[in-house]
Structure 1
C-alpha cells in the first residue's frame, strides 16, 4: 500500500517541541514502522499520482490560497481511485466554514456566527447588534492560519466598512463575537479514528487574539476532565465519525465547551505534546491501511 504524504511548497511556521518535530519527524517515524510513504507536494505537476493507493493530507497549507486548483486536484485524485485521508466527503464539507451552521442547526454548541456571502453590502454596524457584542471577529469561510482574520470595534465600524467590502469581493466571510474566553486559552482535542489522544491549550500573547505560535501564542499540554473529552467527541460522532485524524477546537464558556472549529483537512496535530501521540497516529493509520487492504482482496 503506497501512500503519498501530502505537503506544500512553502515555509514551515511551527517549531519543534519536546524532542519531536511534527514537520520533519513524522514521515521518518512512519517509515521506520514499515509504512510505504513519501512526501509529495500536492500541486507539483511532475507527480505521477497513479503510483499511489492513498493520499494522506498533512500539510497542504496553501490550499485556501489556491482553492479552485485544490478542488480540481481533489477531483483528479478521486478519479484515479486513490483513497484520501481524511475522505473526500469530509474534506469537501470541512474546507468551507459554512459547515458550522449545520452543526449549530443540529443543536450543538457553536460560537455564534453570521455568514457574509461574497459581495455582501449590508451595514457593518448591524453585525455588532446581531451578535450582541461590541467587538467582532471577521474571517474568511475558506482560510487557514488566521489569514485575513480581523478584529473590529463597534465605535469604528463605519471606518472599517470599506475594508470589509474589499475582503468580501474575494469570497464569503463569517462574523463572530469576540470571545473574551480566548484569553484563557483555546482548547484543542485531538482524536485518531475517533479515539481520544491528547489535548493542548493555546493562548494568545498579551494584546492579541490569535493563538498561533507564529503570532506569539503559547502552547501547553493539559489533561481535561472526561466530561470535556466526551463533549468534544460528540461532535465527531455526529458529523465526522470515520476520520483518521480530527482536532476539535473551542472555548470554555461558563464552564461549558463551545465549538470554534472542527479541523478535519490539514490540522497541525501537536504530536510533540504527548509522549504517545505519534504512536497513536501510527496505529490509527495502520488500522485504516489494514482495512483498505482487506477491502481490496
Structure 2
C-alpha cells in the first residue's frame, strides 16, 4: 500500500467528501486506502506514506492517539508526531511569537477561569484539548456555576473537561465569520469562510454554522507567515496546515492552527483534492515540502 489515510471508527470511508479525493488519487494511479488509526489489524509499516485525516475522535483519546502517532515511522508520517504533540493542546496559542493571535489565557481551575472572564468581560471558554466547538461556553459572569465543570455540548456528545483556555468574545464572528485557509506542500490553497448560525458563535455545521469557498483575498500574507513560523519552530517545512483567522480590532489574527487533521471541506468544494493528491505524490517521490 503506497498511502494510508488515517480516519476514525465514526468515518470508516474517510472525511466528508472523501469520494472526491479518492477519485483524484485513482486518476493519479496512487494506491491508497482509508484505515482506522486505532485498528490493530492495520500494518502501518506497509505504507510508504501515512496521512492523518479524519481522526476526529482523538480529542477524547489524545494520549492513545499521540502514542500511536509516535509509534509510526516518522519519515513516512506527514507532519510528524512531534507536531501533533504540540498542536493538540491549545496552549500553543500562547507560543506563537510574533504572529497576531486572539488573546488567550490558560486556566487550570475555576479561579483562573473566573479571572479570565473578569478580565475580558465576556469570555469564551474552551477545553485545551478539544475540537468542533465541543465544550465551548460564552460566559459573562465570573461566578457562572458552569465554570470549572465538565460540559456536554449536545446529548450525544461526550462530556468535555479542563484544563481550558479563556479568550475574549470576538464580536466579528457574527459579521465577518471565520476564515480558514489551507497550505498544502507550501502552497496557499482554498479559503473557506465560515459563519455561525442562529444565536451561536460556533461556526461548526453541527451547531448550525455554514461554510463556503471564497477568494483568498487579504489573508494570504498572514497565512504564509504562519507557515513560515511553523517551519521555523520545528526546523523543517510543514507538509500541511490550516490557518483559522478572525478579525480582532480591525485586523486579521490567528484563532487556531490546525496541523493534525484539518478537514479539507471536500463536501463543500473539490478545490483541495488535487493539491492534497499532489502533496502525497511528492512525498512518495521523496520530495520534501518547500523550504521557507
Shorter chain as denominator, the TM-score bin is: 0.7 to 0.9
Q: How many residue pairs align between the two structures? A: 274
Superimposed CA distance per residue, residues 228-280 of structure 1 (whole angstroms, 9 cap, x where no aligned partner): 21112101111146222211001123432111001111011123555543212
Structure 2 counterpart of 1:111: 102
More helix by share: 1
1:208 Cα offset (Å): 0.5
Deviates more, 1:133-142 or 1:24-33: 24-33
Structure 2 counterpart of 1:30: 25
Matches of 2:84 and 2:213, distance apart in 1 = 27
**SS of alignment partner, residue 267 of structure 1:** coil
**SS of alignment partner, residue 150 of structure 2:** helix
| 1:236 has 2:227 as partner | yes
**SS of alignment partner, residue 281 of structure 1:** helix
Matches of 2:186 and 2:50, distance apart in 1 = 19
Structure 1 counterpart of 2:189: 197
Distance 1:98 1:159, change over 3 A: closer
**SS of alignment partner, residue 77 of structure 2:** strand
Structure 2 counterpart of 1:91: 84
Structure 2 counterpart of 1:210: 202
TM-score for the superposition, normalised by structure 2: 0.85
Matches of 1:6 and 1:82, distance apart in 2 = 16
| 1:221 has 2:221 as partner | no
TM-score for the superposition, normalised by structure 1: 0.84
Pairwise CA RMSD: 2.5
Matches of 1:77 and 1:270, distance apart in 2 = 27
| 1:158 has 2:149 as partner | no
**SS of alignment partner, residue 38 of structure 1:** strand
1:134 Cα offset (Å): 2.4
1:23 Cα offset (Å): 3.0
Structure 1: 5+ residue stretches without partners: 16-20
1:124 Cα offset (Å): 4.1
**SS of alignment partner, residue 43 of structure 1:** coil
Distance 1:124 1:95, change over 3 A: closer
What pairs up with 1:1-297 in 2 under 5 angstroms? Answer: 2-10=2-10, 22-78=17-73, 83-103=76-96, 106-117=97-108, 120-122=109-111, 124-130=113-119, 133-154=120-141, 157-160=142-145, 163-167=146-150, 170-184=161-175, 185-225=177-217, 227-240=218-231, 242-271=237-266, 273-274=268-269, 276-291=271-286
Distance 1:166 1:200, change over 3 A: same
Matches of 2:126 and 2:244, distance apart in 1 = 16
Instruction: State whether residues 113 and 166 of structure 2, in contact with CA within 8 Å, keep that contact through their aligned partners in structure 1.
Output: no
**SS of alignment partner, residue 92 of structure 1:** helix
Structure 2: 5+ residue stretches without partners: 152-159
Distance 1:292 1:224, change over 3 A: closer
